[in-house]
Structure 1
């Protein structure tokens, strides 16, 4: 299938073949008939991509700060990889489309193949021949629906949410500032509701379009003489009941002008991308104006449970969700209560999409809505795409399932370049990332489904997906007799762990987990110095907070931070002690979200060693993240953030200091690959991997039991 992509670094925009999307749980696969280009949102993205690096930096000061922070903590190599990953990536464009359902995923009951639908969502409703969309970002259409108009789905829902935030009554007056695509839709809905609409824009043509199509009752250009007085006369001297700002600008003029034309105790709704640093006097303060923000499509936006899991809000408590806003917009179109035929000023075939974006960026002629039309007579094929014609002839055939930021920064670059190693296939949730990773790192193909990367040419599978899929992919790999490298955690359910143990015993294949810290050169120095005798150990982690709505904190998807990260530190103490964990107790600090991400864990090991993991999400960001102390037989090691090691014993302390932080990722990947090539074994024993995983489950059990000691 074909998709429109752009590179953030160069601004290059191409239509290219990418793998057919995977039909995940709660997803529908849609063959696009139309998609709509948003001149505001997408236009700014394309313009930014075409700027120089300095221009990009000026537009994104917050991201520059993140880059500098990464440079300080992780050094130039990791920073370079992180930046280049973003700049070299194929970024999909588009977020509003319509078409026909061709496949539905597990648990989907409201859609079936052949249904006409409209879709929404950045990263979902792309400019592509085929898209995969969650059920709550997809609405069913009537058979008679005009699919070109229906493709305005996202923009219609955004406009409707702005109207709902305005909460206007019949006969009231609303001023809409900004008569681009979003402003036109907003004005149409307001007028259909019996509201008197005054439209304002800096563009003469935008105002003329609104007036000529009876979208507004009155229209003015922003620089029209006496505009405030005319609004006063129209509203009988009161001022506008509500002002909706649908413009996109860095200027403060819209929000200050809104204060000037609104009535006392009126409302101003921010729908577009404008700054809100208004002047307190003379209008906002004296009129006691109310400022409201309209959040995109409506309730449910940015909620993982709603958008990804498909969990709806009860209609009795949340009447208008983002999906219901979309449905209401489509109903307005079907019943012809609003007519948006005039909005599509330009239509291009999908193959001409780059030309359409040139029009958006260069503004060579006036436009409002730009539609892309697809050749929907084509039958999409689920087949892998060849990215490297060189045959996979090495004794070690490696494929990847999942290849996000961590994999691209720490796993893929560190696979040794040897003739005995072949890079076979890549499969990710995003066809664009699959294609780019396969090209950049020299894999033979990017895949459309699991079977492609589990064929006979692959004997070693790297799994770097979201945590909830680790266990199932490990099992699939072992059942297909593949060696496995899985990013932590091994799995999220004890039942999966039991199955994995049984399947590994059957296949006798190597299983490796991404516990990289034990491979750090400074960790190796500690092991050499202290050997296998009993030790007392402290591992303090200044983890920092992660919002409760982040996927990592979701127990079903990310497993929480104990599964996602504390397992690292249990493994580290297991390795340094030279012994298996046998029991533990854990207590977490209570918090309102029940995240269990500020906790202490006390571990006991077979050889008598003890270890404390102090994992804190409530500390200062200025403090280093990881600090370790090891005590044994009169000697002490202090390791600070994997950059500096001091060992105290007799005489003067020994010191080792690295220029850059080294958490052992490179050494870990090399040890795994070289181990397979030499003896077919992983550098961490399977017993250690399962013991640490079991201990992670026991941490949660101990917390639930009030810190009671539990056996592992």
Structure 2
């Protein structure tokens, strides 16, 4: 299928062929129309078109994170990660309408006409995969052309709801772009008197035709509002887009005492305190479409809010469509341009240059484009990065292409003695861009294409955590060797399933515990190879806080930091000692505020050779301090690794030290090379590590030590 993409490095807009998405929790929709958001999308394009210095100035928080990354990981690692993010194309669009062609929801049937919303979902593409709560049926009497405005309409709807207007109130709308003109019509439908404010005479005239009782530019504005309402506007809704604070300053003068100002557009927010103080006016920043926005449980998983949360983003979408059906909203005057999908670059050029007056700009899709089954796209040699001659030891298929895979795993693939056959990701754009960059023969949104490909003998799995176990088991049973990122599983049931598949298949399974493959780790292990006593180990992790809404904290998808991250450190202790963990006792800080329960803890492990090790994991430290430090004590000797850039070894008063100035040596390339070359991984050690994280979780919950028993899962 065809999709519009933005090159984040150059800012160019292209239409490229990518795989059709597959249905998950919602529906796959064949688009008829999608609406270009001139404000939101232009801001992203303008940022992409800036130089690296310009991008840095526009995103100071990102620069701060990169500088912190340089301090811990080294400049080369930080640079690769930053450029890796920029090399991945960005999908554009968040409001579209079309027909359901595949469904995984009882609410929708194939053939239903629907309107869809959500960045990353309702994109400019021939086919889109949308979760159920971001999709609504289009009522009879509403065209798909009109329904493509639904998401933007729900933004206007939520802004009006935040104004808490009642019948007969006087409302000023500042900024008569698309959302402003929709707000005027919604307010009129709610029984309000409306004054529309803009500097463009054409928009003022259009607002009046659409029902505004009064229109005005900024000249003599206060007096004009008083002619409509002597005491001022009951509410002011700002839908303008400007860095200037002039709109909020004007709102302060227009609103009545104890009135309400609602900011919908992206404007400067330097409020004149004296003006707002004198009127005791309330200022509300309206958040997008309504309740549910940015809530992963609502948007991704489809978990609805109870009805007392009356106007969720989906209900706002439905209400907007209802107003169109009732002829309370007229979209015809707002549709100024319609472009075929192939001409999308020209549409964006029109918006960026402003060579013609525009308001609503639609992309139109030809029916029956790629077809809903077009989940595989083969790349011609000219469309792929050239590859060195391969020994063909392995023909690899990769599943998943998140941040970790793109920054730490995939950059090493070209140096491996292997053929890159295919890559599968959830979205077609991601699959196509990764395949093109790293030289895969084909890309797909259906991972089963890889598992059923007889030419592929090894699979690399780098998805979100909740899919690791099920995909690993399925790949083993399909006769593939498997490299799966950590954690191996997020529950005991998942772990049993993987062990069962491993026992049955006879295939190899390696878990991405890369630290044991670091050259620095290997030198540390050699240093202690002739030890005659047990070891004492301490692995301290100054992790830095991850936002509470991040998927890794999700009990279903991520498993939390204890499951997701602590496995690395327990595996490292197994590697250094050559022993299995047999017991763990863990304690954690009780959750407060944004601190999840299992993010700040200490876990002390006993090993079967008498060694003991403690993992200290905290998100409470300063990110500028080293992230990882490992200390090993044994037989009058000490070993220390700091951030896998600095190794110090001491024995009998003699010390040696190795440092890496440009980058870390975390073992990513070495682990992939070992897998490709057929090295037999220590799978029981990976299972023991995973069991140890589960046991640590239980220990925190029960306050007692827990035993680690491989027999519990069939080993």
TM-score normalised to structure 1 length: 0.95
How do 1:47-58 residues align onto structure 2 when only pairs under 5 Å count?
Answer: 47-58=46-57
Q: Which residues of 2 match residues 201-240 of structure 1 at below 5 A? A: 201-211=198-208, 213-222=209-218, 224=219, 226-236=220-230, 238-240=231-233
The residue number in structure 2 matching 1:447 is 444
- Per the alignment, do residues 71 and 622 of structure 1 end up closer, same or farther by CA in structure 2, a change over 3 Å counting? closer
1:338 aligns to what SS in structure 2?
coil
Q: Which runs of 4+ in 1 moved over 6 A?
A: 390-393
Aligned residue in 1 for 2:82: 83
Please tell me whether the aligned partners of residues 698 and 706 of structure 2 are also in contact (alpha carbons under 8 angstroms): no
Q: CA deviation at 1:548?
A: 2.3
User: For the residues of structure 1 that align with 2:540 and 2:270, how far apart are their CA atoms?
Assistant: 42
CA distance in 1, matches of 2:660, 2:47: 37
Q: Report the more deviating stretch, 10-19 or 700-709.
A: 700-709
1:631 corresponds to: 633
Partners of 1:367 and 1:287 lie apart in 2 by 37
Specify the alignment match of 2:617 in structure 1: 615
Partner SS, residue 547 of structure 1: coil
Cross-structure match for 2:189: 192
| Equivalent-residue separation in structure 1 for 2:54 and 2:577 (angstroms) | 51
Instruction: Indicate whether 1:61 and 2:57 are aligned.
Output: no
Deviations 1:67-100 (Å, cap 9, x if unpaired)? 3332332223222322222322221111000000
Which of 256, 264, 289 in structure 2 is aligned with 1:263? 256
The 8 Å contact of residues 72 and 624 in structure 2, kept in 1 or not, is answered as: no
- Distance in 1 separating the partners of 2:78 and 2:604: 35
Aligned length: 696
What value does the CA root-mean-square deviation take over the aligned residues? Answer: 1.7
Secondary structure in 2 matching 1:653: strand
Deviation readout 1:414-445 (Å, 9 max, x if unpaired): 23535x51100000012111111111111100
Task: Decide whether the 8 Å contact of 1:46 with 1:361 is kept in 2.
Answer: no
3-state DSSP class of the match of 2:599? coil
2:501 to 500, 503, 506: 503
Unaligned stretches of 5+ in structure 2? 382-386, 710-715
> Which residue does the alignment assign to 1:370?
361
Contact 1:492 1:563 in 2 (8 A): yes
Question: Structure 1's 370 and 393: CA in aligned 2 closer, same or farther, altered over 3 A?
Answer: farther
Cα distance in 2 between the residues matched to 1:147 and 1:480 = 43
* Matches for 1:124-273 after TM superposition, within 5 Å: 124-211=121-208, 213-222=209-218, 224=219, 226-236=220-230, 238-273=231-266
Q: Provide the rounded CA distance (Å) in 2 between the counterparts of 1:553 and 1:630.
A: 30
CA distance in 2, matches of 1:249, 1:41: 12
Q: Are 2:400 and 1:406 aligned? A: no
| Pair 171,416 (structure 1): closer, same or farther in 2 beyond 3 Å | closer
Comparing 68-77 with 284-293, which one deviates more in the overlay? 68-77
SS at match of 2:525: helix
Instruction: Please state how far the C-alpha of 1:187 moved relative to its aligned partner.
Output: 1.1
Equivalent residues of 1:388, 1:439 under 8 A apart: no
TM-score (norm 2): 0.95
State the partner residue of 1:491: 489
SS in 1 for 2:654: coil
1:651 aligned partner: 653
Q: Is the 8 A contact 1:585 1:710 kept in 2?
A: no
The answer to whether residue 390 in structure 2 is matched with residue 387 in structure 1 is no
2:295 corresponds in structure 1 to: 303
Equivalent residue, structure 2, for 1:541:
541
Aligned to 2:602: 600
Contact 2:601 2:618 in 1 (8 A): yes
Once the two structures are TM-superposed, the CA of residue 388 in structure 1 deviates from its matched residue by: 4.2
**Cα gap change, 1:541 to 1:383, in 2 (>3 Å):** closer
Asked if the contact 2:4–2:13 (Cα under 8 Å) also holds between the matched residues in 1, the reply is yes
Quote how far apart the aligned CAs of 1:162 are: 0.4
SS in 1 for 2:38: coil
* Contact 1:646-1:654 within 8 A present in 2 as well: yes
Quickly say closer, same or farther: Cα 1:159–1:82, change in 2 above 3 A: same
How far residue 160 of structure 1 moved from its aligned partner, in angstroms, is: 0.6
1:594 Cα deviation from its structure 2 partner:
4.8
- 2:713 corresponds to: none
Given that 1:210 and 1:216 are in contact with CA atoms closer than 8 Å, whether structure 2 keeps it comes out as yes
Asked whether the 8 Å contact 1:415–1:670 carries over to 2, the reply is no
Confirm or deny: 8 A CA contact 1:392 1:444 kept in the other structure. Answer: no
Check the 8 A contact 2:470/2:498 in 1, yes or no: no
Map of 1:293 onto structure 2: 285
Structure 2 SS opposite 1:67 = helix
Q: Kindly indicate whether the alpha-carbon contact (under 8 Å) linking 1:392 and 1:423 is maintained by their aligned counterparts in 2.
A: no
Counterpart secondary structure, 2:548 = coil
Query: How far apart are the structure 2 equivalents of 1:288 and 1:209?
Result: 33
SS at match of 1:332: helix
Query: Residues of 2 paired with 1:573 and 1:299: CA distance?
Result: 46
Q: Is the 8 A contact 1:32 1:100 kept in 2?
A: yes
Q: What is the rounded CA distance, in whole Å, between the counterparts of 1:82 and 1:610 in structure 2?
A: 35
Q: Aligned to 1:309, what secondary structure does the other structure show? A: coil
**C-alpha distance in 2 between matches for 1:704 and 1:205:** 65
In the aligned structure 2, how far is the partner of 1:383 from the partner of 1:640?
45
Aligned ranges 1:442-591 → 2 under 5 Å: 442-454=439-451, 455-531=453-529, 533-591=533-591
Deviation at 1:265, TM superposition (A): 1.3
Q: Measure how far apart 1:10 and its partner are.
A: 1.3
1:63 Cα deviation after fit: 2.2
8 A Cα contact 1:33 1:99, kept in partner: yes
Contact 1:702/1:710 (8 A) holds in 2: no
Query: Secondary structure of 2:74's partner?
Result: helix
* 2-structure distance, mates of 1:63, 1:602: 36
SS at match of 1:40: helix
